[in-house]
Structure formats: C-alpha cells, structure tokens
Structure 1
Amino acid sequence: MSYLTIASTGETYEFVVKTSLLNIIQEKGIGMESPCGGRGTCGKCKIKILKGEINQLTQEEASHLTKEEIKQGIRLACHVKPQGDLTAELLEDKNIKHEILTEGYMPSISINPMIHKEVYKLIKQNFKNDLSYEEIIEDVVQQKIENNNIDLLKLLPEAFKQGEFTGVYLGGHIIGIEPGNTVKETYGIAMDIGTTTVVASLVDLIMGEEIASVSEINPQTEYGLDVLSRIAFVQSNPKGLELLHKGIINCINGLTLKLCNENSIAASSIYEITIAANTTMMHLLLGVNTDSIGKAPYTPVFKKAQNISAGSLCINISPFGRVYCVPSVSSFIGGDITAGIIVSKLQKADENILFIDIGTNGEIVISKAGKLSSCSCAAGPALEGMNISCGMRAAEGAIEGIKIHENKISLKVIGDKTPVGICGSGILESISEIARVGLIEKTGRIKKKESVMESNPGLEHLIIEENGKRKIHIAMGAKEIYITQKDIRQVQLAKGAISSGFYALLNLMEIDMVDLQEVIIAGQFGKHLNVDSLIGIGIIPEALRDKITYVGNSSKSGAVMCLLSQQVREDIETIAKDVNYFELSTMDGYEKLFTKCLSFS
C-alpha cells in the first residue's frame, strides 16, 4: 500500500498503485472537479506535486499547462500515475462564493398539500378489553397502520400517556403518529437538483409559504460536468454509481440540516421533500443504473413520478418522511422541465410559446395552443464557463460582462474583485462583443492581426499570436484572461445546438417565427443572460427581442408547487405523459440546419 498526503490539510489516504491520481482523489472523497469526467480533455484537474515518484509529463498535459505551471510541478491529476507515496497540493479554492439562482416565478395555486395532520383525543371509550395500543389507534383513525412501521410503534406509549396524538397523512393515508399536538410543526422541502447546482427551499405546509432557500454546487461535478460524462464515469468505474448516489444524498442531507439549523426547526418536522431534476440526476439519486440512458435507443429505467420513503434513501428527515420525484418525459426531458412547464402554464396556453431552459443540457418546449412538443440539445458546459480556457463558474472574481468601446474593454466582475476568470454570461457577452467589433469572422475564426489593423484599427492589440495559434486578450488580473479559438468553437457548438433545436421544433409544429407570442427563458444560467447577448451571439433571433421573458429557477418553483398542491401533482403527471419528444439526431436535414446555426451571421 502507498499513501497520499494533502499538504493543505495534512490528511493522509491509503491507495493502491497503478491507478490515476484523479481516481484516488475521487474514491477518497477529497474533492476535485473533473469537467470532462477524467478523459483528459478539459485541463481543469490541476494539482501541484510536492513529493513522490510519478510518470513523465504526457503530451496531453503539455497542451493544457503553461511552461511556468510545469516548472512549478503542476500536473493534471487524470494523467498522473503515482509510483508510491505522494504529497500533493490542491489548487482549487473551496471557499469561493458561487452565485446560484435560488428564486423563480411561481403562479398562484390553491394550497392543498399531500402532507397534512389531524389531532385525535384518546378517551376512555377508546379503551377496550384485549386491544393493543396499535389496535386502539387504528380504531380511532379508522385505518390500518402499516405493520412494518417500527418508528410509529415506538411512539405509541407516549401518545397514550399524553392522552392525544397527531396523525400524519399522505393524501388520505396515515403514515405516522406523534404524541401530543404537533400540527404547527409541519414542513417540507422543495429541491431542484441540477447538473451543476442544487437548490433547496424550506416550506411551511400550513401557511403555504417559502421560509428560506440554500444552495451549493452539485458534488457530482467532481466526476463530470454534464450527464454524459457522469454516465461514462458510472460505466467505467465499478464504484461509480455508488459514489454519485452517495454524493447527492450527502448533499441533500447537508442542505436539509442547514435549513433546519438556520431556521430553528427540527429535521423530524420535515415530512416530505419534492425533487425536480433531469432524468439522469433522478436515476443517480435513487441509485439506479444509467447505462441505458447513455446509448441508443436512450431508454430510461423509469419516467413516472416516484413516491419513496426518505429512510430508504438514508435522507435524514421525519421517520415518516417521503420523497416525491417529479415525473420525466424522456431520457433527456426530465422533471426539471415538466416543472418548468407547469410553472409557465404551457399546457393551458391558447397561443404559441417557446420555452428554453438554457444550461448544460439545453431543453426546449413549444406550446402550440396547449399542445406540447419538446427536444433536447447537448449545449455542453461552455455556457456555464466550463471547458473554457479561462472559464469558471459565476463566483467572486468572474468576469460576467464585457463591453468594447473606443478600442477599450470595460469589464463587469462579480463582487467587484480583481478578475480571475470568466463565467458563462461573460464568455457569451465577450464573444458577442468581439463578433460585433469584427475580431472574428462569421465562421468564428479569429482574424489575423494584420486584417484587424485594416478593418478595425486600434483593436489589433487584442489579437495575440503564440506558436502559430491566435487568442483574444480580455483582461490582466491575477493572470492573463483570454479567449482561444477552441473556446469560440465550444460556444459555437452550444449556440448551434440550442438555436437549431428550436428552429427544428418550429418546423415540426408548422409554426412561423413571427407567430410566436412569447419566448420564456428558464434556468440557472438563463437568468444571467441579457437580451443583447442572446441576440448578439445568435441564440435568439432579433425578431424575438421584445417577446423574451425570464422565469428564473422554474425547476425549484415547480417542486414547491408539487409540495403545496395535490392538484398540481395530478396535472404534472398528466403533462409528462402528454408531451411529445423528438430526437433531433434522427430528423431529416437536421445536420444541415445545425451547421447553418453555427454561423455568427
């Protein structure tokens, strides 16, 4: 056996030689993001080797690391093969504050939650010869108690001692009893489990009100930034499914504990968690294998709503707690989108509405007078600042806005800090601006310095040529921040995927662009995009400028609605069955349409 020591913490971990350093870090739960899932293509798993014998620098590493980084002993963890004991330093800042969208539009609904309580008095007439406490309770509530509910049985003596008890109901079925009157302590949690972020809201089920929200980065990002990377990780790693499942369960428990502590509420007073998530996230949440989602014909193990005991998932809430999973439409149109549909009332629309959830996955729904059709497009993580040379998430120090005026660049940086990178909205606005001022061609190719001198004199200083490659200088902060040709291609692929997706759906639905009455932008990332960037880069055409509205985190809002209304659950389960899903890759002429949408014209 050999030992890995992390310098910053002094912690030591035992490992078996002949595996990559990234695998060791992931299996030990140390915490390191690998956007590409350990395939060696993103260059983000940088680590500093302080002591120990390892393999020689690989060609792939050399293409991602600067000469200065290599001198300092920095390597890519996915390429490092320890030969024995190793001491290393993590380079990620775990204390960085991320900007995560927790709020979203929510329509008014009638409050009628699945979880509710009733108080019962125990009087002498209830006591009959030869009846057990359990049988007396069943006689009082006029229902049978599940014979495997040990937690409930343990509470019966105290209930009889107090002379009254509270019945906890899921719909019309009693799922638990509590000694005394606990009606006022009835709470639930609505949760949006995104590919990148997780948001949880504490909800008072009596008042029908959100009390507080908390959020964090999805810990599964350590194993891949998009769903396909995580599916590949499960396929290639024997412990992959277990690691991803435990990661999200720990995240749920952590957010739940934080909500309870910050609001002086006992976890035992949380009776239900409703979860909206994409189909892959739902499978990983329940510990269900995702192999079938990742290969043709892309069949999920389940799509229907799931109502599960929280205890069976090791989620720490009431012993009678339940977890409700919002239903999906297909492998790539999940519960986060059905939640968005119900929030936006697309199923009730009497006009043509386009709904786009802009993010890593990129889902699109069109309502043609209430008839719903959908598709998904692999936008990739570039729109969230990842797989970009100087990319980062929306956090302090991230460039989120850029303007080029009179040959000068002005920046908007989160937290008004020294820029350390560029986030998704920043990369989109940057490319929109450099396209506007003529630093790139319509094909996305960065122009030569000489060409810029002729057409846009004064801007040529932004074009940097090194080793036969061009990049565009954006800022000099803690380090130089720039955009490479590869970065532009990544964004082109994302914008091409999204715009070709909704053009294809419009054609299938036989709707002309001018006949769209509204364009709804949803999602964690979509909220941070301004209209000028969306139009400037070509994701949304100019003709739709005045029709764009934002609904924020509609996934979480839909989860709140499911928590508070039995009718909403019935409606959303019907919607999930009624939405038509189209696989873009099988459509005639789609490849040609996609290629056309790559242009910055």
Structure 2
Amino acid sequence: MNSTTLTIHSGDHIIKEVIPPGENLLEIMRNTLSVEIESPCAGKGTCGKCKIIVVDGDLADPNEQELKLLSTEELKKGVRLACQIVPKGSITVKVIGVSGSARIKESGGLPYHGEINPLLKRIIIKMPSGDISDQRSYEKRILDSLPDGTVMSHQIRAMLPSLQKGDIYELNISLCGDEITRVEAAESAKAAKTYAVAVDIGTTTVVAYLIDLETGDRIATSSGLNAQKGYGADVVSRIEYIGDDPAKLLELQKKIINQIESLVQKVMEKADINSNDLLGLFMAGNTTMMHIIQGLSPETIAVAPFLPISIESMRLKPWEIGSILPDHMRIILLPSLASYIGADIVAGILSTEIAESDDLSLLVDIGTNGEIVLGNRKKMISCSTAAGPAFEGANIRCGMAGIPGAVSAVKGKGHDFAWETIPGAETTGICGSGIIDITAYLLRSGIADYTGRIQDDSDWGDNAPAGSEYLEETEEETRFTWGDEKKTLFFGQRDLREVQLAKGSIAAGINTLIKESGYELDDIKNVYIAGGFGSYINKESALDIGLLPEGLRGKISSVGNSCGGGVIRCAVNQDELKKTEDIRRHCEYIELSSNQGFQEEYMMSMYFPEFD
C-alpha cells in the first residue's frame, strides 16, 4: 500500500512527512508538525483564516463552509480551509497565513522608583573550617551565616563535600527568599551579575524581559505571538480543545513552555550572558494560561460556577512544569483574582499603583476579554467581559494581528479617507487599532447609523454622504472597500456587528462596575488603557464608537503593557511581590454572567453614539 505524503510550503521552509490517512489537515499541521497557521476559531470552520493553497493532490470539492467563507476568486486559485480538509492521498499545500514580527507593546505601567530588593539573590559567605572546639556541621555553619529561617534541601546538602577547601573557603549562595537554590565555590561567581526574566503571557502575545537584579534595569526584551494561537484566538476555545484530555493539556503546556524557554534564550543571547547568571523567571498571565503552564486542567473555568483549580502565587522548580531550564532557577507565578481576572490584571493594578492612590482610577485591559478594575486604596472592584477576539483581528474577515502589512490606522471623514499600514510588508489586512478607526470613520461619515447598520440609497435618497462611493453591494451584505493596486480590503456589515458586540460588552462592563461601586462617572480621575491592543488604539475613535464613556474624555492615558511593568516590579523588589497578595485579598470580583444590571447595560451599550 502506497504511503500518504504531505508536503507543506510555509514561508522559506518545506516540510515533507508521511501522514496517517483519514486525519484532518489542520490537526496534522498544528499538532503533529507544529506548523504556524492562523486558526482563531480553533478549527470549528467559522473564521475562515486557516487558508492554504492546494498545489497538488486529490481532494473532495469545497464544502458548504468553504463556499461561504472563501471568495470565488480564492477558490479558483486553489485556496481551501485546512480545517475542512481530509486528504485522500498525497498532497502538497502552501500556507497563506500571515507571518512576521508582531507589533507588541513591550513596556508599560507607571515609572518605578522604588527600592531594589529582589527575592532572587546571591550572597558570598566566608566559611571557617571545623575544629575540635566547634563541632557544628558544615550545613549548620552555612545556615548560621545566612538570614534566619534559611532552609537547605537534601539536593544542596549533597553538594557540600565537594566544595570544602583548606582552612578557609568562600561560598557563593543563590537564594530564592529563604530557600538555598545553589551553592558554588565563590571564585567561580565573584564577578558574576545576577538576572531574572519577567514574562507576560498574553492570550495573543508573549513578552520576556531580562532584568538586572542589582540595578533593576531592563537589559533585553524578546516577544512573539503566543504559540497556542493555532488552538483558538480566545481562552475558551483552548479550554474546549483541552476538554478533559490530559494529553491535550500536556500538548498546550509544552507549546507555551517551549516558547518561554526560547524567549529566555533570545534575551540571554542579546545580553551575552549565560544561564548560570540567570536565577529565575517571574510570570503573569490570565488564569487559563496560568493553569496550562502549571499543567492544571482549566476545564472548570469555562463552566458554571466558573471555579479555577488554583489562583495562588507559586514558587516552582523548572522540572515541576516540564521545563528544561537549569535546576537552580525558580519560577515565580503571580496570583490571580478569579477565573477571568488573572495574574496579568493583578500585575496591572500593581504597575498603575491604583491600590496605593487616593484618586479613583479605572483600568481597562482590552483584548479577547475586557478586564476592568475600578478603585483606589480604600476599595477595588473588578469584572471581566467576554468581548471576543474581534479587537485582535479574529472574526473580522480581513482582520489580522498587528504585524507588518496590517492597516493600523484610518483617518479622516467622508471623502478625506486615508489609512496607515505597519511597515515591513505589503498591505494584507486590518488589525485591532485599524478596526476601531474604520468603525469610527463609518459613524462619523454617516455611512453607518447608531444601530450599527451600514446604510444605502434607500436611506439617503439623493443625499448620499461623502465616502459612500467606497461602498460595494454583494449578495450577502453591503461592504466598505478600499485598498491599492495590489490588495483590496473590505469591512462589511457582518464585521461591524462583531465590533458592535465587542464594544458593547466592554462599555456595559464599565457602566456596571461604576454602578456596583457606588461611585459616579465624574468621580473617576484617571483612566488607564492597558494591553498590547489598547496601547495603539486612537482614544478619540474609542470614545466615538462608545467603547469608552464620553464622560471620560480627557482622562484617558495608555499605559502599554501594564502586566509586564508589574511583573518587572515583582522581580526587582520582593515587597512588590507581597503587594500582589494584598491586591488579591482586597479586590472584589463581580461575575457578570449572573448580574442582572449587566444584561440591561449590555442591551443599551450595543448602540453606537449618534453623529449629526
């Protein structure tokens, strides 16, 4: 029997493998061969993003989903959806999916001017040899030379005989709080510096910062799109993929652990240091990501009553989560608040200093979920809204991540229509910040009304608004189209509805939180917009589409990657890490799925602001 061969052309790489018959092409590419391919809907056949070109091979005709999601022109070129294909025999395909470095905001939060007091540190101690008048063991001599409460594991204890030299010798002790993590002969590490890596694990992006623990300086940064993105653009899709299958949980855990190890290697290479000088990692992400990293099933997060397995701060050895990082390192996980308010938001609260200020502040982290915190030193209240992945470019047919070639900004009104593209590639699609802008443009120009409907001649008669010349009628919908000689983009009625659902969810969450807190909108002094996407949106556009309440105009500032800023603080000062526990205890969480007020706010927030 002839073997079935799959040949994949992906960027500059060609992969050729024998594959088992009868398996879904996306599953093979994503799970077996680890090919990077867009799949925001996790293979459900609803997003239309896992496009490939069939170069050679025998396939069944396109099914109903492919006919719905692919244009006639694409089908003529051999474009198919990988999630809908089961190869009948050997097949050669080319991945169309976008590639390139994501535009990731790599700094955030308020400037830190606090002390340098790291949890991870090195201490050099002088050790006198034993004599007849001092019968203390070598272990006792070491512990007596260190802060009270320091503990030594048997693994470290077993190293002591090989480290004794002469009458007097020096030891270099690595510590994680009160735990000895490594003992070295001092001359091997006298001149060595000490570092940690702070990691922000987002649903869409992952960022690693190399931190000098003696100065608190950020030495190097590396980032990339989350390696799990092929399993769905949102955490619920990834939870559904895992289900109750330990093998799938391990699969996604390996994906993110391997990516973090790769980012760690990159920042060390940039700084020209080796792993001996790196004492550990500090990590924060949403609650689902924190579960997956620890190998804990996130299954219960997605079903009522939405209870996580654990939201505690953790200190782990690399091997405990399947990492190949050296044994002397420690991995410190920040605590979460609830199933949908994760350690990333705790870190954001820390870096914006909301819990330490008398002023009432609002923190909004806009992503696949909209996490919102309102409060000050006296009181904090939080919630999470299921905004969906529209603002990340998913579920928008020309949507894409913020990488080279993405339309990132739309400017003007009416005939005065212009757009900007992230440089580095030809125009390919539109990312989140551009999606907000195009929505605002349609509203300001009178092309779309407050209900979210793209209008036509039956609404305008002979008074069509400027800019309506960009509209195109299809059998399915009315679309706004633009582009250049090489690429035409469109934003249609279906796309506008996706934005409407997402913005309505976030706006309703903000309004519900204000009402539940007992404060008024005018009481808010500061509005911090966080997250990679939130860092790039045009504030005026966000207000014009009703994503943020009009009453907050003039109070809004972008704080970039507030999670990364908070994790860095925890790395350089253990007192900042302790503050995250205080935040977890004192910040109240409201579950919106059972909140009647939210349902009412959501219906009202679905409408867009009206323009003359």
Given the two structures, how large is their TM-score scaled by the length of structure 1? 0.94
Could you tell me the percent identity over the aligned residues?
Answer: 34
- Contact 2:512/2:597, CA 8 A, preserved across alignment: no
Evaluate the alpha carbon distance shift between residue 319 and residue 62 of structure 1 in structure 2; reply closer, same or farther with a 3 A threshold.
Answer: same
- Distance in structure 1 (CA, Å) of the matches to 2:486 and 2:164: 63
Equivalent position to 2:31, from 27, 47, 59: 27
Task: Tell me which of 137, 150, 153 is aligned to 1:146.
Answer: 153
Partner of 1:58: 63
Counterpart in the other structure of 1:2: 4
Paired amino acid for 2:4: S
CA separation of 1:372 and 1:144: change in aligned 2, threshold 3 A: closer
C-alpha distance in 2 between matches for 1:127 and 1:561: 48
Q: Which residue of 2 aligns with 1:208?
A: 216
Counterpart of 1:300 (choices 300, 308, 314) is 308
- Tell me how many residue pairs correspond in the alignment: 598
Instruction: Tell me whether 300-309 or 561-570 shows the greater mean CA deviation.
Output: 561-570
Matches within 5 A, 1:115-130: 115-125=120-130
Q: Any conservation in 2 of the 1:365–1:375 contact (CA below 8 Å)?
A: yes
**Alpha-carbon shift at residue 358 of structure 1 (Å):** 1.1
3-state DSSP of counterpart to 1:585 = helix
Aligned to 2:373: 365
Alpha-carbon distance change, 205 to 490 in structure 1, aligned in 2, over 3 angstroms: same
- What residue ranges of structure 2 are gaps of 5+ in the alignment? none
1:195 corresponds, among 200, 203, 222, to: 203
Report 1:109-508 matches (<5 A).
109-125=114-130, 137=142, 145-149=152-156, 153=158, 157=162, 160=165, 163-181=169-187, 182=189, 184-235=192-243, 239-367=247-375, 370-405=378-413, 407-415=415-423, 418-449=426-457, 451-452=459-460, 454-476=462-484, 478-508=486-516
TM-fit CA distance, 1:156 = 5.4
Q: CA RMSD in A?
A: 2.3
Distance change (3 Å), C-alpha of 1:89 and 1:154 = farther
Preserved contact between residue 287 and residue 341 of structure 2 (Cα < 8 Å):
yes
> Equivalent residues in 2 for 1:448-597 (5 A)?
448-449=456-457, 451-452=459-460, 454-476=462-484, 478-597=486-605
Structure 1 residue runs without a partner (length 5+): none
Deviation string 1:206-264 (CA, Å, 9 cap, x unpaired) is 12221121111110101111001111111186632122101111111100000111111
Q: Secondary structure at the match of 2:535?
A: helix
Greater mean alpha carbon deviation, residues 312-321 or residues 43-52: 312-321
The structure-2 alpha-carbon separation of the partners of 1:112 and 1:57, relative to structure 1 and needing over 3 Å to count, comes to same
1:68–1:579: structure 2 CA closer, same or farther, 3 Å change rule? same
Letter in 2 for 1:492: Q
The alpha-carbon deviation at position 551 of structure 1 amounts to 1.3
Give the Å deviation of 1:159.
Answer: 6.1
Residue 135 of structure 1: how far off its partner (Å): 7.1
TM-score by length of 2: 0.92
Q: CA deviation at 1:11?
A: 2.2
Once the two structures are overlaid, the 10-residue window that deviates more, 504-513 or 402-411, is: 402-411
Structure 2 counterpart of 1:459, one-letter code: G
Contact kept in structure 2, 1:189 and 1:274, CA below 8 Å: yes
Q: Is the 8 A contact 1:402 1:426 kept in 2?
A: yes
Q: Which range moved further: 487-496 or 236-245?
A: 236-245
Structure 1 range deviating more: 96-105 or 404-413:
404-413
Distance in 2 (CA, whole Å) between partners of 1:271 and 1:233 is: 34
Query: For the Cα contact (< 8 Å) 2:101–2:224, is it kept in 1?
Result: no
CA deviation map 1:407-452 (0-9, x unaligned):
1411112117642211100010011011111001211111114534
| 1:492 CA displacement | 0.5
SS in 2 for 1:356: strand
CA 1:462–1:127 in 2, change beyond 3 Å: closer, same or farther?
farther
Distance 2:477 2:530 in 1: 37
* One-letter amino acid matched to 2:184: E
Task: Render the CA deviation track for 1:59-104: whole Å, top value 9, x for unaligned.
Answer: 111111111211122111111011232221111243x232111011
